[in-house]
Amino acid sequence: MGTLTYTASVSLDGYVADATGDFQWSAPGDPVFAAHIERMATVSTEVLGRKTYALMQYWETFPDDDDHPAADREFARRWRDIEKVVVSSTLRRDELGSERDRLMPRLSLDELKQIVDGAPGVVEIFGPTVAGPAIAAGMIEEFHFFVIPKMVGGGLRALPDGVHLDLNLVEHRIFGDGAAYLRYRAGEGAAKATD
């Protein structure tokens, strides 16, 4: 049985992308990238939406040769080893990058629970749109935030409105560029949604 986590790189004011949809401001420097590689060692399954899946296809075909940085090659290897569940009503099965990838037009909370129960390790939800219902339902066991020292003033929020969470900080790290890694575990009482 796996555990369910939500990971996001967020601005200081709580956005994963700005009002124009740009998220390049959150591109990790070498130490943060190394932390992502380390974190991925426990991830067995990735649940993500169409746009994030398309973005991450870059790593599916990343060359494994000495012409490319070792960290990039390791990230690509770990990414390819992860089972992907793509939630999209517009993507077609023949557009998936790997035979191992699963396509679901919708993802109910019961289906998500089945995915987590059947996983051998961490199930990570990647993207606030896909993660929102699970966050509101109190299903996320751990939150991993890479906080970027930048305020973008609006855009796609990392967390849904109207949810109250009791969280316990279990790990934190500060990087030389001012970014911070914060890992929270859901506390007793989990989540409560408000109207």
**pLDDT of 188:** 58
The predicted-structure confidence for 124-172, as pLDDT tens digits, reads as follows 999 999 999 999 999 999 999 999 999 999 999 999 999 999 999 999 9
**pLDDT of 180:** 97
- Cα distance between residue 1 and residue 121, in whole Å: 7
pLDDT < 70 stretches in the chain:
188-195
**pLDDT of 190:** 44
**pLDDT of 95:** 85
